[in-house]
Structure 1
Amino acid sequence: MVMIIKPSAAIRKNYNEIAALCKSTKEPVFLTKNGEGDLVVMDIATFSRRESMLRLREQLVAVEEDRLSGKRGFSIGQLDEIMKKAIEDAANEQRG
């Protein structure tokens, strides 16, 4: 990942350029103020995708912690249904 860094004044002067950059790269743009990191901006689709991935990772960590503590898991059929629903939910979130 290449970090895209712009001064905070760029968002005021070049909003459309920054928005297009976020959408085309699908990466956050880091804004600085007086040479220091200040804000991060990204397009909504990228933000939603990242949030979905974070939620999924949190769920996977919780499941792994349960497994390590000896809790009973799911059958293959149950897991198949859970994964289908997760994929469907993620696809619906991406569509907006």
Structure 2
Amino acid sequence: MPAALPLIRPISDLRTNLNDVCAQAQESRQPIFMTKNGKASLVVIDCDAYEEQRQHDRYVQKLREAEIEAKYRTGTVSQASLDETIARIFEVWGV
């Protein structure tokens, strides 16, 4: 599937068509690239879409960290060993 074309608008739309820019950001949930004199100047994105994107990026980072850890950690831990370790930790903390 080809990538969608980026949304591009002149920065003057923030002054003259702010409601339309806001509506487009909310409906598309994609970044809108605002241009000034033909060059990219800033990016507008719906707040919920931005938070979803940030959460997605955090998940991807955690997956990468897990892949790296799995690559360099050769052994596994048995459930019995894990239970024993947790029991010792609880003893130390008096739980």
TM-score range, shorter chain: 0.7 to 0.9
Mind listing any 5+ residue stretches in structure 1 that lack a counterpart? 76-96
The answer on whether the counterparts of 1:28 and 1:40 sit within 8 Å (CA) in structure 2 is yes
Q: Establish whether residue 11 from structure 1 lines up as the match of residue 14 from structure 2.
A: yes
Structure number with higher relative contact order (C-alpha < 8 Å, ≥ 6 residues apart): 1
CA distance in 2, matches of 1:65, 1:54: 17
Structure with the greater alpha carbon radius of gyration: 2
What corresponds to 2:48 in structure 1?
A: 45
3-state SS of 1:2 partner = coil
Structure 2 counterpart of 1:46, which letter? A
* Runs of 4+ displaced beyond 2 Å: 71-75
- Alpha carbon RMSD of aligned pairs, Å? 1.9
Compute the displacement of 1:23 (Å): 0.6
TM-score, length-normalised on structure 1? 0.71
Distance between the aligned counterparts of 1:11 and 1:74, measured in 2?
57
Residue segments in structure 2 that go unaligned for 5+ positions in a row? 79-95
Identity value in percent: 27
C-alpha distance in 2 between matches for 1:71 and 1:23 = 46
Q: Quick check: which one's helix share is greater? A: 1
